[in-house]
Amino acid sequence: MANLKIKTASCLFAAAGLLVGSLVTARSAYAAAPSAQPPYSLSVFAKSTIGYSQPDSIVQWRNTIIVGFQNHVAKDGTDGKSSTIVQYSLNGTVLRTFTVPGHNDGLRVVGDHDLWSLQNEDANPNLVVIDLESGQQKLCTFPPTVHGGGYDDMVVKNGEVFVTASNPNLNGAGINVFPALVRATLHGDMVDVEPVLGGNDNAINISTGHTVALNLTDPDSMTIDPRGNIVLDSQADSILVFIAHPGADDQKVGQINITSGGVATTVDDTVFVPQGGMFLLVSDVAGDAIYRLARPIFGFETGTAYSASDTAGIVGVLDLDNGVLTPIATGFGSARGMIFVVPVED
């Protein structure tokens, strides 16, 4: 009987220990949650579910938000799995979902209602065009890639679609001699590409004014700045590249090195505050959540650049003169896709 009491007491003590451990774990998880520095505020917009996980790219279509969930699919699509594209209302309510084959990493609305969904940035790329009005999908294929990798992100400028050529093969000196940026055109269910910017083209270092040779070993996300330049992120290189008049005879290229706290810092998405931008959405692929970043007092200043660092887990204000990224929100598992939301009048 005494032994039974001892065992019972031991079980109770162990259970208490488990309870304490759970509380500590919960407390640690709470402490590790992302947070924003005043005057910014941070809240959850949406989370992953059993059906989809790993949110990354974000776009707005009319008064809805569309997010690509990667679902732990292989980046070259060789596991045969699929990603999920989720359409939300502006308050985070799920409206509908789409399934696309492979690992989604690029989303862009082309024209009035076509969503281009780009898969498999490491190799074997494909493009799914989704008619957002009818819900119909068309699978498009690329010719073999000259750079050996896949395609990552897209922007639309003057009706043309530009795409980053990701995961390039490097030569023996570790240099990317292949196109880093291409222009994409649909012909039926085929995607034709033509080079726009070489991975080792010359550029002007914006901070110094000196001419430098690029070596874009990791072309990744893109956006358009307020002057109409394409802004290309070479993620692992901690570089942003600015391309004026892309593909034209007078094309000009500049670049800045990104640092935070005096250390070279990788960035994923960079966005600029548009006129009427109400709040910023940022995806945390490792944290399985999409966050709403607001600036309640006086709002965001039009034209200001914000960048998300996947490795540092921060969102910050980017100084375009010297590339310094000053954190305003920290604690993300891996901050990735971003978009400023502008409500549209019906």
Percentage of residues in the chain having pLDDT higher than 90: 89
Percentage of residues in the chain having pLDDT higher than 70: 91
Q: Please indicate whether residue 138 or residue 11 has the higher confidence score (pLDDT).
A: 138
In a domain, 33, yes or no: no
**The total number of residues written for the chain in this structure:** 346
Number of domains forming the structure of the chain = 1
Q: Is 8 exposed, middle or buried (0-12, 13-18, 19+ CB in 10 A)?
A: exposed
SS3 36: strand
C-beta separation of 216 from 176 below 8 A: yes
Non-local CB neighbours of 3 within 8 Å, separated by 6+ positions: none
pLDDT at 345: 82
In a domain, 34, yes or no: no
In a domain, 152, yes or no: yes
SS3 231: strand
In a domain, 14, yes or no: no
pLDDT over threshold 80, residue 8: no
Residue 81 CA to residue 71 CA, distance in Å, equals 8
pLDDT at 215: 98
Element (H, E) at 128: strand 126-131
Q: Is 74 exposed, middle or buried (0-12, 13-18, 19+ CB in 10 A)?
A: middle
pLDDT at 30: 39
In a domain, 7, yes or no: no
Residue 319 CA to residue 97 CA, distance in Å, equals 37
Q: Please indicate whether residue 346 or residue 305 has the higher confidence score (pLDDT).
A: 305
pLDDT classification of 50: cutoffs 50, 70, 90: very high
Question: For 34-54, what is the mean pLDDT?
Answer: 97
pLDDT over threshold 60, residue 13: no
In a domain, 280, yes or no: yes
pLDDT over threshold 50, residue 10: no
Question: For 296-309, what is the mean pLDDT?
Answer: 96
SS3 9: helix
C-beta separation of 289 from 273 below 8 A: no
pLDDT at 325: 98
Q: Residue holding tokens 């083209």? A: 201
Which residues form the domain of 263?
Answer: 39-341
> Per-residue pLDDT tens for 244-276?
999 999 999 999 999 999 999 999 999 999 999
Question: For 31-60, what is the mean pLDDT?
Answer: 95
Question: For 50-78, what is the mean pLDDT?
Answer: 98
Hey, what are 286's tokens?
Answer: 């490792």
pLDDT over threshold 60, residue 24: no
In a domain, 24, yes or no: no
From 1-5, 33-37, 159-163, 208-212, the region with the lowest mean pLDDT: 1-5
> CATH number for the domain including 293?
2.120.10.30
> Per-residue pLDDT tens for 138-186?
999 999 999 999 999 999 999 999 999 999 999 999 999 999 999 999 9
From 17-21, 65-69, 238-242, the region with the lowest mean pLDDT: 17-21
SS3 93: coil
Q: Residue holding tokens 């759970």? A: 22
pLDDT classification of 23: cutoffs 50, 70, 90: very low
In a domain, 5, yes or no: no
> What's the CA dihedral at 22, 45, 278, 313 to 10 degrees?
50
Question: For 121-136, what is the mean pLDDT?
Answer: 98
